[in-house]
Amino acid sequence: MKEVQVLAALQHPRVVKLLGACLQPPMLALVQDLAVGSLFELLHGSGGRPLELPRLLQVAMDVAEAMAYLHPHVVHRDLKSHNILLDKDGRALVYTCAVVVVIALCRHT
């Protein structure tokens, strides 16, 4: 499956890594990095308190780095707080599985 090959090739510290896949029905599975939560949970589970500015800026920078890495070849198509996961250090990871479109690369000579 082309999408799984593209996802497996993505190697960036701010993008959730695809570690393995089983594509033989009926046992379909993806194995990925471990995340401890999502940006949605962070924003809506803190008792309604806004994030401190340094934390907010770190998340924004993490997501911006991931998207800058992805966009030359991949369009995410579903970037939202549910798809921004948090690692054990609280850093943001963009979740890409099943929501990417590969951009065809054309060379004009």
| pLDDT tens readout for residues 1-48 | 677 787 888 899 999 998 888 888 888 888 888 899 999 998 888 666
In a domain, 32, yes or no: yes
Output the domain CATH number for residue 32: 1.10.510.10
In a domain, 108, yes or no: no
Is residue 107 a part of any domain in this protein? no
Is 33 a known active-site residue? no
- pLDDT averaged over every residue in the chain: 83
Q: Number of folded domains in the chain?
A: 1
- Sheet strands (E) in 35-98: 37-38, 74-75, 84-86, 92-94
Most confident of 17-21, 75-79, 104-108: 17-21
Residue 17 lies in a domain: yes
Model confidence, pTM: 0.81
State how far the Cα of 97 lies from the Cα of 66, in Å rounded to an integer.
14
In this prediction, residue 104 carries a pLDDT of 45
Mean pLDDT of 44-67: 89
- Options 62, 78, 87, 89, the catalytic residue: 78
